[in-house]
Structure 1
Amino acid sequence: MPSQLAYSILFVSELEASIAFYRDVIGLPFKFASPSYAEFATQGAKFGLYARGDLPQLIGRAAPAGEVPWPQGEVAFFVDDPDAEHDRLRRAGAHVLAPPTDRPWGERTLHVADPDGNVVELTRPTQTED
């Protein structure tokens, strides 16, 4: 039975634009890139990006034709201060979806959109887990 998340990968339309967003705007340490895949240095589970156009090489078939609904997913990263990140990301030109907000599940979250419209959450716990 699975017990630990190994990695999370977002499928993106323009790999270079997404690398720039996660490296330069979000501030993740860039690790490496190949023609279809990029990875960032995160603690714990790996975080990567994969070129959507190269999906047939990965899974043996193409994505269905037609418009893809927005957003397709969310990725969340722990930060020390969502409010400070909000100010920094606005200055960097990020599309802020929701400003820092205290959530009933015990986190303060900030949501921005990446170049493909995926939701990026920056979060910190507001209460300790029991």
Structure 2
Amino acid sequence: MKAKIALITILTDNVPVMVDFYTKVLGFEIAGDHGENVEFHSEGVRFAICSRSILSSITNDHAGFKEERRGQSFELAFPLETREEVDRMYDEIIAKGAAPVASPADMPWGQRTAFFADPDGNIHELFAE
């Protein structure tokens, strides 16, 4: 196997709310809408939102594998061109409805970062070098 990610899918119990957030707040455009599975245009890697029940019906019902959901398990990091853009975009997406987690700040590793959450509580990052 080649170590490469081709698709990132966020599983949710509320596809319409999450699709609304990722399109209206973060600006993704829908590439394909199949009701409970929606894929977005995304440069570099495919990105989708899928109903948790769809994946469960494929994996849990047939393979007998099920684990309880445990807290924050992934983060999407959105690169921006400038440190000022981190501040501006953070204010913009918070005004559109993203939940504020951590305001823009300079990190010890040299990046300017800010954190926000989507409607399911997934924490994501804006950053610039």
TM-score by length of 1: 0.81
Partner of 2:42: 42
- Offset at residue 64 of structure 1 (A): 4.3
C-alpha distance in structure 2 between counterparts of 1:40 and 1:20, whole Å:
12
Tell me the SS of whatever aligns to 2:97: coil
Does the CA-based 8 Å contact 1:100-1:108 persist in structure 2?
Answer: yes
| Matching residue's letter, 1:72 | S
Counterparts of 1:46-85 in structure 2 under 5 Å? Answer: 46-61=46-61, 63-64=66-67, 68-80=69-81, 81-85=85-89
Does the CA-based 8 Å contact 1:55-1:63 persist in structure 2?
Answer: no
- Offset at residue 41 of structure 1 (A): 0.9
1:88 aligns with 2:92: yes
Structure 2 unaligned residues grouped into runs of 5+: none
- Offset at residue 46 of structure 1 (A): 1.1
- C-alpha root-mean-square deviation of aligned residues, in Å? 2.0
Taking every aligned residue pair, what percent have the same amino acid on both sides? 28
1:114 aligns with 2:115: no
Does the CA-based 8 Å contact 1:72-1:117 persist in structure 2?
Answer: no
Tell me the SS of whatever aligns to 1:89: helix
**Residues 38, 90 of structure 1: alpha-carbon distance in 2 compared, 3 angstrom cutoff:** same
| Matching residue's letter, 1:9 | T
C-alpha distance in structure 2 between counterparts of 1:3 and 1:106, whole Å:
28
- Offset at residue 63 of structure 1 (A): 4.5
Partner of 1:25: 25
Structure 1 unaligned residues grouped into runs of 5+: none
- Offset at residue 102 of structure 1 (A): 2.1
Q: Which protein is richer in helix relative to its size?
A: 2
**Residues 3, 70 of structure 1: alpha-carbon distance in 2 compared, 3 angstrom cutoff:** closer
Tell me the SS of whatever aligns to 2:76: strand
Matched length: 123
Tell me the SS of whatever aligns to 1:53: helix
Q: Show CA shifts across 1:80-103 (max 9, x none).
A: 321111110121121010111222
Runs of 4+ in 1 over 6 A off after TM superposition: none
C-alpha distance in structure 1 between counterparts of 2:119 and 2:10, whole Å:
11
